A and B are shown apart, each in its own frame.
Chain A
Amino acid sequence: MTDFRLVVVSAGVSDPSSTRLLADRATQRVTALARERGHAVTVTTVDLRELLQELPAALSSQLLGPRVTRAVDALVAADAIVAAAPVYKAGASGLFTSFFQVLDNDLLIGKPVILAATAGTARHALVVDEEMRALFAYLRALPVPTSLFASTEDWTDTSLGTRIDRAARELVLLMESGFARAVRDDAWGAYQHTYGSAGGTELDIELDSDMMRLATGGSLRPSADEDPFDPRNG
């Protein structure tokens, strides 16, 4: 039995919000399935509208306010994520994309994610796969194969429930696989990090590097004895 930490990020702005509703339904299925399989699940919900006031500072000055910082801390510790956005003007809402654009590039590496979107019309259905999936691919997160999308007519259609079940099961299986943790433990150094990234968990300071040797009076020039044609070996 494992204790999984699930973080739900919802960009719905009304109350009640259909985006939050979709995220909650997915979350309920994930926790129910995980418990059936003998796991405990702790859920943390990040309602992005509560971060609205802090986002301008984060976007313009990389200055993270207390709420954004709490959200980042939750994501650092997350075993899996449910990310839900309303579709506005044929794209995931600005609030949703802004939040994920503020995060460090290496914060979500390998973490399984259910992607979900809501819209007033089915014509927005591919936003999840064509836009949101690309954003999470850039962040090297692991979106589950089944994407969730709900427009007005889907709320009365039982097949939405079927898709939610499918996505939830995929997420639980990926969490159980321990993939994100294994990447972190075994191959973390193979990804690009910057100082202080991933919520300050990026890496210890690496002393064995070309730059560190240069910092301590070394040279970047290859030494002459490596190259038989170098005139310095005359």
Chain B
Amino acid sequence: MQFGIMSVSDITRDPVSGHTPSEAERIKNIVRIAVHAEEVGLDVFAIGEHHNPPFFSSSPTTLLSHIGALTEKLTVTTSTTLITTNDPVRLAEEYAMLQHLTQGRMDLMLGRGNTAPVYPWFGQDIRQGLPLALENYNLLHRLWREDVVDWEGQFRTPLQGFTSTPRPLDDVPPFVWHGSIRTPEIAEQAAFYGNGYFANNIFWPKEHYKRLITFYRQRFEHYGHGTRKQAIVGLGGQAFIAKNSQDAHDQFRPYFNEAPVYGHGPTMEDFEEMTPLSVGSPQEVIDKTLTFREAFGDYQRQLFLVDHAGLPVDTVLKQLDLLGEHVVPVLRAELEARRDPEAPANPPSHADLIKAKYGDQTPRQPRPNANRGDNVTGGSPYQDSETSVESYPTL
């Protein structure tokens, strides 16, 4: 079981001190937060993608490759990468590059993005959000698995003889999660390709996601990627921890009350009761998190939202200390003890994917043919291109 944190990259005024961090401050601090996540023993750091203030994370791969360089074990990922407004060709290129630079310590999570004005800035229309997401991923999937792609779709200009470079590390595509909370088509796509499925598990009662996760598990099995229990599920969640419950409530309340994501509607107590939010002592956070497994079955990745709503960086680092020292070790032990042996303990790592594809053979290392003078290498761009690979096993 992997544990980590996910950030939406909001730059929010601290309602207690009145201080609004500059972009420079917040970007510097997110790097501290990510590095500290590794120091306290967490496994994953995820960053969101936004293209409007008050968010800073327009370029997730740049940030993640920097964090990758400063860490040794941490897996970097996204929460989420916009599969709608990004060109899938650029996604294939950028994330393959990130995969090389982090030596495979990365994966990515795809989402649609729900901010309507962002779509036209990138020449798209939110009303086409779902078909865009589905079609773009179909292309991205092929770009990472076929050296040369001919492709024609509804939204993007056609491709003839296109090679996305660099080829994925060891010619093994990064693991992909599809994030969704209410779209059966996204769950179906995740299941069809044998990819992971992630529910943000933040705004609604957890029962809301249950049906879709069950559907994903059934379809994962239907498409022959393994049993229902072997499907790869990730969940979000949010926690605010203090030594005792009352302190946690007192410290977090001003941030909760001001946070735009809560809509200024529900009280914190309502939200704790109705959603997966846990505010309290380490034991309370542990107990609540354990209910996720009861609802959804064994899952492989738990990400907590800890750095939003204007919480100052020192508080966030302290939260990481508490998570790493008092919460995650207990959760690891408890969840491992309860795990059905059939269910994978972790999502596939790069090493797992290499093993699945090559067994004990040496991974392919694509070497380009010489430039023919036109900067285009045509139908056999790599020295071993003519030995085409027929099928690509998935986990």
A residues with CB within 8 A of B: 54, 56-65, 194-196, 200, 205, 207, 211-212, 214-221
Contact = CB atoms under 8 A, between A and B. Distances in A.
Contacts of B130: 211
A60 B260 CA distance: 10
Interface in B180-224: 182-186, 188-189, 192, 203-204, 208, 211-212, 215
B182 A61 contact: no
Contact of B183 (A63, A65, A195, A219): A195
B309 to A, nearest CB: 15
B274 A214 contact: no
A210 B150 CA distance: 22
A220 B267 CA distance: 45
Given A63-B266, A205-B184, A211 B134 contact: yes
A196 B209 CA distance: 10
B263 A220 contact: no
B134 A57 contact: no
B203 A220 contact: no
B200 to A, nearest CB: 14
B138 interface: yes
A interface majority secondary structure: loop
A61 B266 CA distance: 8
A217 B131 contact: no
A217 B203 contact: no
A207 B182 contact: no
Contact of B265 (A61, A196, A215): A61
Contacts of B341: none
B2 to A, nearest CB: 26
B135 A60 contact: no
B270 interface: yes
Interface string B118-158: 00000000000011001100100100000000001110000
A52 to B, nearest CB: 13
Nearest first, the 5 A-B pairs at minimum CB distance are A60-B263, A60-B265, A57-B266, A215-B189, A57-B265
Interface of B: 130-131, 134-135, 138, 141, 152-154, 182-186, 188-189, 192, 203-204, 208, 211-212, 215, 262-267, 270-271, 274-275
A58 B188 CA distance: 29
Given A63-B271, A221-B153, A214 B266 contact: no
B204 A63 contact: yes
Contacts of B264: 56, 60
A207 to B, nearest CB: 7
Nearest to B263: A60
A165 to B, nearest CB: 42
A194 B182 contact: yes
B186 A215 contact: yes
A213 to B, nearest CB: 9
A214 B212 CA distance: 18
The residue in A58, A211, A218 that gathers the most chain B C-beta atoms within 10 A of its C-beta is: A211
Contact of B274 (A65, A200, A216, A219): A65
B266 A215 contact: no
Contacts of A221: 152-154
